[in-house]
Structure 1
Amino acid sequence: MKDWEAAYIAGIIDGEGSITLTRMHEKEYRRPCITIASTDKELLVYLQTLANGTINNKKNYNPDRHKDSYTLTIKKKEIVLDILKLITPYLRVDKKRNRALWILENYDNVTPRNGKYNSVLLEKKIAFEDSFFKI
């Protein structure tokens, strides 16, 4: 990804996206996730070519008054972390930049590779998540 593409993605995330921690399965701990919502599917398809992820349709309960809308979701940990490294210098919204930095600086330290937590690491993981959502 080129610098201008990273800056472009950062601008779109600043305006229409989110950087968060989400559960993929009910009994899992949270992992980083980037989502971008838009009524412009062409934009999301372009972003998907840069960053992978999946595009989902959102249910439109009133098509006479609202456009169809879509969400690009990037869930794969390695891809999310790589994207955050590239876009963080260009993020302008403090909350989103601080969330990206928090994930980059702390996520790997509180997440074991094998997914098995001892009591100390579990306490750190929960504290990491709590601190993240206070940002």
Structure 2
Amino acid sequence: MLKSWEAAYVAGIIDGEGTISFKNIDSKGKRNPVIAITSSDLKMLVFIQSLLSGSLSSKKMMISGQPTYIYTIEIKQKETIREALSQIQQFLRADHKKEEVERVLENFSSDSNRNILRPKQPASNMFLMEKAY
């Protein structure tokens, strides 16, 4: 469960840099929700990972002739997504993000026979952690 200020912070990041979508079709043909945030600010993504779990990845890009790392966190655990979206919904400002959240939460309420496991703790990725601090 997120604290109020944490939910507001995550909502602001999702409003600005995040996406909420459906992908990863499961064995039953259903698409699963995913929250993804892409940024060059690794410390912010590591903080969000500490709140919501998720997996971090990096990609090296050339911007203005300089190598730059862009990082992405993807949150895929259904229960984590449902709880997080329920808590941040009130803090979202962008109308299209509010609509995305409503669509995902409606999908959860219509899926009465889902079997959700507790989210796993994120694997420690020391390389990313060292770069963040």
Q: Which bracket does the TM-score occupy, shorter chain normalised?
A: 0.7 to 0.9
| Aligned Cα root-mean-square deviation (Å) | 2.1
The Cα of 1:81 is off from its aligned counterpart by 0.5
Per the normalisation by structure 2, the TM-score is 0.76
2:72 pairs with 1:71? yes
SS in 1 for 2:33: strand
Opposite residue 109 of structure 1, the aligned amino acid is S
SS in 2 for 1:21: strand
d(CA) in 1 for partners of 2:17 and 2:67? 17
Where does residue 9 of structure 1 map in the other structure? 10
Opposite residue 47 of structure 1, the aligned amino acid is I
Where does residue 120 of structure 1 map in the other structure? none
d(CA) in 2 for partners of 1:65 and 1:27? 45
Cα gap change, 1:103/1:47 in structure 2, threshold over 3 Å: closer, same or farther? same
Opposite residue 92 of structure 2, the aligned amino acid is L
SS in 2 for 1:107: helix
Task: Show CA shifts across 1:54-96 (max 9, x none).
Answer: 1011242x26335201001000100000000010100111011
Opposite residue 67 of structure 1, the aligned amino acid is T
The Cα of 1:103 is off from its aligned counterpart by 1.6
Q: Which has the higher strand share?
A: 2
d(CA) in 2 for partners of 1:24 and 1:110? 15
Greater RCO, 1 or 2 (C-alpha within 8 Å, sep 6+): 2
Identity of aligned pairs, percent? Answer: 41
Runs of 4+ in 1 over 6 A off after TM superposition: none
Unaligned runs of 5+ in 1: 115-135
Unaligned runs of 5+ in 2: 116-133
Aligned length: 113
d(CA) in 2 for partners of 1:4 and 1:32? 24
d(CA) in 1 for partners of 2:100 and 2:4? 21
Where does residue 108 of structure 1 map in the other structure? 109
Where does residue 119 of structure 1 map in the other structure? none
